[in-house]
Structure 1
Amino acid sequence: MYSLAICDDEKSSAAQAAELLEKYRKAHEGLEIRADVFYSSLDLLGAMEKQIYDIYLLDIYIDKINGIELAEAIRNKNEDAQIIFMTSSNAFYKEAFRIHAVHYLEKPILEEEFFDAMDRVCTQEEEAKFLTFRESGEVHRVQLDDILYIESQDHYKRIVLSDDCFLIRSTLQPLIDELDRPYFYVLGTKSIINLKRVLKITKDYVAMEDGKEFSVPRGTYRALSELVLKYTF
């Protein structure tokens, strides 16, 4: 069962989100979601003293504490919280990106977009997939989602995780074949990046969560930036 909190100081908007959620539940038999609705950020913060939610649907323009500040408070209590923003403005894309929001829904919220956002947070429990390889005589098995990027170093490939890295002797193609997730992107001829672990992208470079920067190949910025938005929101 998923526990979900809706927080919006406009009762009509909160009601719309609750209605869309009910439609989503009816369209997904067997999926259990328990939802609470809050009309102020302080009420939600108070409830969080006793209840930690799995999913948060947050308006950005809320009373005394805006949605970005509220999301930061949520992150401090629960790093694994799935946060979806609801707003009438796109002015906070960068802040939402920094907080690793699952989606950024612009009001009036379309049913298709709402369903897409919920699909992302309600399919997190799918079977994890792993990359298995040998380094210095030892066999390692790491979850694909934990990989930030892979880069070539002569005849070797460096597999980088947020808290570890491995250097293996391999060509790039076998690794590409093993990374059977659409959010792995082959950048140029020497690197593979996890689009879900991108921190920032400009026309010149893409920065990963560990600070590593890769040059953006000429002519690929538009398509690459759209993919980054797709897999980070």
Structure 2
Amino acid sequence: MYKVAICDDEEKCVKEAAALLEDYNKTHPQHTFAVDVFMSSIELLGAMEKENYDIYLLDIYIDKMNGIEIADLIRKKDEEAHIVFMTSSNAFYKDAFRIHAVHYLEKPILKEDFFDAMDRACQKEDTRFLTVKDGNQVCKVAIGDVLYVESEDHYKRIATENDTYMVRSTLKELMDELTEEYFYALGVKSIINLTKVLRITKDTLVMEDGKEFSVPRGTYRTLSELIIKHSF
């Protein structure tokens, strides 16, 4: 069972979100939901002192404390909670990206977009591993943990959050194994995980571990759109 908190100061919007969740449950009976509704940030924050929620459906313009500020508090308490923003403004994409929101839904919320957000929140993916030979040892690396791959002559350096692995392989061979859509060949010497990008400018792309890559000329717009696509 998923515990869901809906927070919006407009009763109409709360009812719409609850109705969409009910529709989703009808077509996804394998999931069950326990729903609590809050009309103010104070109500939600008070409940969070006693209850942990799996999924938060948050309006951004609530009251004195907006949805982004609430999400920051949620993240301090629970890094694994799934946060979905529901808003009439597109001005907070960067904040939602920073918070690792599951989705950013603009009102009026389309049913297919809401269903997509819930699919992401409820999805339990089987972990897939990349088996690599690093020196004299063979290692299994969770593919979702890969930050990037860099070419260093005949070897390729695979970087994760906590480790690096030097493997004798070609970039193409590794790209053929990294079949997830969020892997992107950045030029001819590196592969990046789009979900692990911290920030991007027209010149530079920074990964979560601080590693910087140059953005190839003419690719900034495409890269930015892909990063947003795979972050929400």
Name the counterpart of 2:197.
198
Query: C-alpha displacement at 1:219, in angstroms?
Result: 2.1
TM-score normalised per structure 1: 0.96
What SS is found at the alignment partner of 1:37? strand
What SS is found at the alignment partner of 1:163? coil
Distance 1:217 1:116 in 2: 31
Distance 2:138 2:42 in 1: 49
Name the counterpart of 1:80.
80
- The answer for unaligned runs of 5 or more in structure 1 is none
Mapping for residues 30-179 of structure 1, pairs under 5 Å: 30-123=30-123, 125-179=124-178
Name the counterpart of 1:27.
27
Query: C-alpha displacement at 1:41, in angstroms?
Result: 1.2
Which shows bigger deviation, 135-144 or 72-81? 135-144
TM-score normalised per structure 2: 0.96
Distance 2:213 2:156 in 1: 15
Distance 2:205 2:20 in 1: 35
Query: C-alpha displacement at 1:29, in angstroms?
Result: 2.3
Aligned-residue RMSD, C-alpha: 1.1
Query: C-alpha displacement at 1:89, in angstroms?
Result: 0.8
Are 1:219 and 2:218 matched, yes or no?
A: yes
Distance 2:151 2:8 in 1: 47
What SS is found at the alignment partner of 1:232? coil
Distance 1:102 1:151 in 2: 28
Equivalent residue letter for 1:204: D
1:99-126: CA deviation from partner (whole Å, max 9, x where unpaired):
1111111111111111111111111x12
- The answer for unaligned runs of 5 or more in structure 2 is none
Name the counterpart of 2:185.
186
What SS is found at the alignment partner of 1:26? helix
Distance 2:137 2:35 in 1: 46
Query: C-alpha displacement at 1:223, in angstroms?
Result: 1.9
Equivalent residue letter for 1:184: F
Equivalent residue letter for 1:190: K
Equivalent residue letter for 1:231: H
Number of aligned pairs? Answer: 232
Query: C-alpha displacement at 1:64, in angstroms?
Result: 2.2
Distance 2:132 2:184 in 1: 20
